[in-house]
């Protein structure tokens, strides 16, 4: 199953790239993941310096910079970011995030079921033995 509608993703990616720089905040899950990795990411505004499409696996990816003096950039999928609600593409980004998250969830569910061997196979009928009464 394809996660992204390629044409929609590329169109949104190109329009976001044309609007660089813009402000985003990391989502809660991203903050937890970065802290678990020992990275110093804070709950603050970050400036998107570059936007690119990472294919169906990566989706729309943003390169973030904290302060203008920071040399380190963070790369993050747009699904893990909260875009400034005043941005002209905020509603489209939110719709993309919701659709991508939903499709990734569905893909993970079917993948998990397949890994666990939960294929629907017909149940075998029990053979009746020749016990008492036969």
Looking at residue 14, its pLDDT comes to: 97
CB distance 119 to 38 below 8 Å? no
Per-residue tens of pLDDT for the chain, all 134 residues: 688 889 999 999 999 999 999 999 999 988 998 889 888 788 899 999 999 999 988 899 999 988 877 777 888 999 999 999 999 999 999 999 999 989 888 888 765 454 444 554 556 666 666 666 65
pLDDT score, position 126: 66
The answer to the question of residue 120 being in a domain is: no
Residue 112 located in a structural domain: no
Question: Helix, strand, or coil here: 77?
Answer: strand
118 within some domain: no
Predicted pLDDT of residue 25: 95
Q: Is residue 68 part of a domain?
A: yes
CA–CA gap between residue 23 and residue 21 (Å, rounded): 7
Structural domain count, the chain? 1
Is 119 inside a domain boundary? no
CA atoms within 13 A on the CB side of 21: 12
In a domain, 46, yes or no: yes
The answer to whether residue 96 sits within a structural domain is yes
Q: For residue 134, is it within any domain?
A: no
Which tokens hold the place of 38?
A: 């020992």
Domain that holds residue 32: 6-101
Spell out the residues 6+ positions from residue 12 whose beta carbon is closer than 8 angstroms to its own. 60, 89, 92, 93, 96
């Amino acid at each position: 199953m394809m996660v992204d509608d390629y044409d929609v993703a590329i169109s949104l990616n190109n329009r976001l790239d044309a609007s660089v720089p813009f402000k985003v905040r990391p989502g809660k899950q991203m903050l937890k993941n970065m802290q678990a990795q020992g990275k110093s990411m804070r709950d603050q505004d970050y400036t998107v310096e570059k936007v690119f499409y990472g294919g169906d696996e990566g989706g729309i990816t943003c390169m973030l910079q904290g302060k203008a003096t920071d040399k380190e950039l963070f790369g993050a999928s747009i699904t893990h970011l909260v875009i400034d609600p005043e941005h002209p593409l905020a509603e489209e980004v939110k719709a993309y995030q919701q659709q991508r998250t939903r499709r990734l969830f569905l893909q993970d569910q079917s993948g998990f079921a397949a890994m666990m061997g939960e294929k629907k196979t017909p149940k075998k009928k029990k053979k009746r033995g020749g016990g008492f009464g036969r």
